[in-house]
Amino acid sequence: MVEIVRPGLFTEIWGYNGMFPGPTIRARKGHPAVVRFHNDLYVETSVHNHGGHTPQESDGFPDAFILPGLYKDYIYPNIAPGDTLVEQESEFASTQWYHDHAMDITGENVYRGLAGFYLLTDDLEEDLIANGKLPDYKDYDKFGQPFDIPVTVQDKLFSRRGSMIYDTFDHDGFLGDVYVINGKAQPYLNVQRAKYRFRLLNASNARFYELRLTSGSFLQVGNDSWLLGEVVHRNTVSIAPAERADVVIDFRSASGVVYLENILEQDDGRGPDDDRRIPGTPLLKFIVNSGPAINNAPGCVPGAALRPHVAIREDEIVRTREFEFDREHGAWVINDRFFDPDRDDADPQVGDAERWILEGGGGWAHPIHIHLEAQQVQRYDGRLPPLYDSFKKDTVQLRDDQEEIEIFIKFRTFPGRYVFHCHNLEHEDMRMMGVFHVQGDPFQCL
C-alpha cells in the first residue's frame, strides 16, 4: 500500500520490489547484468526491458510467462549492436525502462505499477558528464537529490477510498483523470538554481502528452533510449505512450515556482486533440531555491555535440515491408491479422537493413514500438522529420494526421523471435502486435 493521491489515503499497487515506480536499475556498457524477477502476484507476468538490445530469451516475449509463485532470471548483456566500434558507440542506449509485457494483460499490469527505469552509461556518456556537457548523476544538490532525475508520467483513475480503477473492457485506450508523477499526484520538487537532467517517460496506457514549462524551455539531450547528436533547444516536447524525452532544465535564472505542464487535451483512446491549451494542466511543481546559482554542466548548450550517429544508408536496404495498423471488429490488427504468438510476420536475416512503411489512419493514433533495434525515421507522410525525431527512436507516433511513417531498421546481432506493436496498451492487449523472427545462427565465433 502506498500513498499516491494524498497523504493518509492508501492505494494498493503491483510493484517491482513493492515499489511504484520500480527501483531504478543502473548499468554500465560491457558489464552484463542478471535480474531475477519473482512473481508474487496472482497473474502471469513477463518483463520487457524497453529499448534494450536483449537476447530473445530475456526480452519478455508476451507468452514467456513467469507464472505466479515462480521466478525467472533475465540476462541483460548491456551491449550495443553493430560490427564496428563507432557503430556500437552510436547505438549504445542511455534511458531504457522495464515493464510488464504479459500477453493480453499488459495494460492492467503496467497500470497497477509494474514499470521502472533502466539507465545505462558508457565511457562516452561519462566523458560528456566529466566535460560538463551533462549534469552529473553522482552529484547531489542540497536537498539530497541527484542532478539527474528519472520522471515517470502516468494518468490514473481512483475511487474515493483510494483504490485504482481499471476497466478491462475499455479496448480503445484507458485514460485516467489524475496525473501521477513518480507515484505521486500533485507532486513538488525543491530545486536549486542549477541545471538538472530529467528523463521524462510517458508510462501511461493511452495518453499522449505535450510538455511545457511555465517559464523557460528545455534543452533536449536524448530521445527515447538514446542521446541525440547534439543538444537541441525545445519549447515543448511531445511524448506518446512509451516515449521518453531526456531533457535538461536550466533553473539558474528561474525564481519562485515553475510548473511542468501538459498542454494536450485527450478525451478518449483515439488520441489527443489537435489544439494545444496554454496554460495547461500542471503535472509537477518545481520550487526554485533562492540561493546562489550553480554553474554545473556549463557545456550543456544548444548545439553541443553529444553521441555521434552512424546512419543506416539507403544503399544498405535489402527489402521493404509494409504494415497497416487498423481497427477491425472492435479490436486491433496489423495487416488484417490479430497477434498470434506462434506466427512469424516478418523474417529478416541477421545483418539485413530494411525499410518498413508503417501505415495508420482512420482517426486513431498509435505509438508503434519495435523491439531489439532502433528505428531510423526517414519520413513522416513524405516529410523529413525534425532532427530530434529522426535518427534513433524506439517508438514512433503514428498520429491520425500522419498516416504513414517510413523507417529504416537494421537487424544487427541477435537472431530470434521479437515483437513489434502499438504501445497504446489496450490496443496491444487487443492484439495489435506482430512477430519478427530474425534468422541466423545463434552460435558466435570464439
Sites for Cu ion among residues 317-336 (CB under 5 A): none
Report the distance separating Cα 58 and Cα 79, nearest Å: 14
CA atoms lying within 13 Å on the CB side of residue 356: 28
Judged by CB under 6 A, which stretch of 160-168, 200-208, 268-276, 418-426 contacts ligand C2O?
Answer: 418-426
**Residue 50 interacting entry, from Cu ion, ligand C2O, none, C-beta within 5 to 8 Å by type:** ligand C2O
**Residue 13 interacting entry, from Cu ion, ligand C2O, none, C-beta within 5 to 8 Å by type:** none
CB of 424 to Cu ion, least distance (A): 4
Q: Which region holds residue 8: left if phi is over 0, alpha if psi is between -120 and 50, else beta?
A: left
Binders of ligand C2O: how many residues, by CB under 6 A?
10
Judged by CB under 6 A, which stretch of 291-299, 339-347, 399-407, 415-423 contacts ligand C2O?
Answer: 415-423
Q: Mask: binding to ligand C2O, 204-243, rule CB under 6 A, as x and -?
A: --------------------------------------x-
Q: Which residue among 27, 46, 48, 152 contacts ligand C2O (CB under 6 A)?
A: 48
Bridge partners (DSSP) listed for residue 26: 119
**Residue 424 interacting entry, from ligand C2O, Cu ion, none, C-beta within 5 to 8 Å by type:** Cu ion
The side-by-side arrangement of strands in the sheet containing 209-213 is: 188-191, 276-288, 256-264, 209-213, 236-239
Question: What is the Cα gyration radius of the chain?
Answer: 21
102 CA to centre of own chain: 17
Measured from the CB atom, the residue of 133 and 421 that comes closer to ligand C2O is 421
The full length of the chain comes to 446
CB of 417 to ligand C2O, least distance (A): 13
Measured from the CB atom, the residue of 203 and 304 that comes closer to ligand C2O is 203
Report the distance separating Cα 319 and Cα 361, nearest Å: 24
Sites for ligand C2O among residues 79-108 (CB under 6 A): 99, 101
Q: Which residue among 27, 45, 50, 368 contacts ligand C2O (CB under 6 A)?
A: 50
- Contact call for residue 199 and ligand C2O (CB under 6 A): no
Q: Which residue among 180, 264, 422, 438 contacts Cu ion (CB under 5 A)?
A: 422
Sites for ligand C2O among residues 97-156 (CB under 6 A): 99, 101
Report the distance separating Cα 303 and Cα 299, nearest Å: 10
| CA angle 272–277–283, rounded 5-degree value | 80
The set of cell numbers assigned to 434 is 506482430
Measured from the CB atom, the residue of 327 and 371 that comes closer to ligand C2O is 371
**Residue 29 interacting entry, from ligand C2O, Cu ion, none, C-beta within 5 to 8 Å by type:** none
Quote the DSSP letter at residue 102: -
Judged by CB under 5 A, which stretch of 274-282, 363-371, 382-390, 399-407 contacts Cu ion?
Answer: 363-371
Sites for Cu ion among residues 424-443 (CB under 5 A): 424, 427
Contacts of 160 (CB under 8 A, 6+ apart): none
Quote the DSSP letter at residue 305: B
Bridge partners (DSSP) listed for residue 71: 38
**Residue 422 interacting entry, from ligand C2O, Cu ion, none, C-beta within 5 to 8 Å by type:** Cu ion
**Residue 244 interacting entry, from Cu ion, ligand C2O, none, C-beta within 5 to 8 Å by type:** none
The side-by-side arrangement of strands in the sheet containing 148-156 is: 184-185, 178-181, 148-156, 195-202, 244-250, 218-223, 226-234
Cβ atoms within 10 Å, residue 189: 18
CA atoms lying within 13 Å on the CB side of residue 66: 22
CB 74 within 8 A of CB 66: no
CB 80 within 8 A of CB 88: yes
Q: Mask: binding to ligand C2O, 354-393, rule CB under 6 A, as x and -?
A: ---------------x-x----------------------
406 CA to centre of own chain: 20
Q: Residues in the site for ligand C2O, rule: CB under 6 A? A: 48, 50, 99, 101, 242, 369, 371, 419, 421, 423
Q: Residues in the site for Cu ion, rule: CB under 5 A? A: 366, 422, 424, 427
